[in-house]
Chain A
Amino acid sequence: DAGVIQSPRHEVTEMGQEVTLRCKPISGHNSLFWYRQTMMRGLELLIYFNNNVPIDDSGMPEDRFSAKMPNASFSTLKIQPSEPRDSAVYFCASSGGGTYNSPLHFGNGTRLTVT
């Protein structure tokens, strides 16, 4: 089991540039979550998908953020244009089981720095 795979591990970009973060969930898992982690705000759920369909995107901070899941094995989180306040660690997590008490499996995150 390869676990949840995120790329890149680190991304440094300049303000105004487009950033794309990638995630491959665990095979067979039907739910995928994007989280953001900062010291100030802790863990924030940005969006989650069930069976490739976005279910709740109320945590997406603004229109600069978008997420897609074109198939069961791949998802992207895009920030366009990026701003310094977007600097954070972004985690992707997946879950099988389909119930609210199914645990999440996290990737190792992408550390984004926007200068």
Chain B
Amino acid sequence: GDSVTQMEGPVTLSEEAFLTINCTYTATGYPSLFWYVQYPGEGLQLLLKATKADDKGSNKGFEATYRKETTSFHLEKGSVQVSDSAVYFCALSNAGNNRKLIWGLGTSLAVNP
């Protein structure tokens, strides 16, 4: 079945450092790919998404490109801030999964001033 694998955390960075969180997937057909972010004490919220190959999702300085050839959707940000400290989840949705999202286990990011 479909699956999502994302890099284990925690990731600790200094403010203004470059961020990459790796996400790869296994799926049949043409899934949609998502990054969600969870701030402490809150629910998850959509950060960005891409619905077809070569699409780039972007929001709040974060970007991810849907790479079908490498089955990847890595999250990047050029200069992180302390306020980016959160847990980041990669997820996949596929027409054959009946509205179920397939989730990665989450990657915790801590940004130090």
Measured in the bound complex, the distance between the Cα atoms of B34 and A43 in whole Å is 15
| Interfacial residues, chain B to chain A (CB-CB below 8 A) | 32, 34, 36, 41-46, 49, 51, 89, 93-95, 97-101, 103, 105-106
Partner among B41, B44, B95 whose Cβ is within 8 Å of the Cβ of A100: B95
B103:A91 contact, CB within 8 angstroms: no
Contacts A100-B94, A101-B51, A101-B93 known; A45 to B101 CB distance under 8 Å? yes
A106:B34 contact, CB within 8 angstroms: no
Measured in the bound complex, the distance between the Cα atoms of B65 and A30 in whole Å is 29
Instruction: Kindly state whether residue A31 has any CB partner on chain B within 8 Å.
Output: yes
| Interfacial residues, chain A to chain B (CB-CB below 8 A) | 4, 31, 42-43, 45, 48, 50, 55-56, 91, 93, 95, 100-101, 103-109
Partner among A43, A48, A103, A108 whose Cβ is within 8 Å of the Cβ of B103: A43
Contacts A101-B93, A103-B34 known; A45 to B100 CB distance under 8 Å? yes
- Chain A interface, DSSP helix/strand/loop, else mixed: strand
Contacts A4-B43, A109-B43 known; A101 to B100 CB distance under 8 Å? no
Contacts A91-B43, A108-B41, A108-B42 known; A56 to B105 CB distance under 8 Å? no
Most buried by A among B36, B41, B101, B103: B101
Partner among B93, B95, B99 whose Cβ is within 8 Å of the Cβ of A50: B99
Contacts A91-B44, A103-B46, A108-B43 known; A42 to B106 CB distance under 8 Å? yes
| Chain B minimum-CB-distance residue to A89 | B43
28 contacts between A and B (CB under 8 A): A4-B43, A42-B103, A42-B105, A43-B89, A43-B106, A45-B100, A45-B101, A48-B100, A55-B98, A56-B99, A56-B100, A91-B44, A93-B43, A93-B44, A95-B99, A100-B32, A100-B98, A100-B99, A101-B49, A101-B51, A101-B93, A103-B34, A103-B49, A104-B44, A105-B46, A106-B44, A108-B41, A108-B43
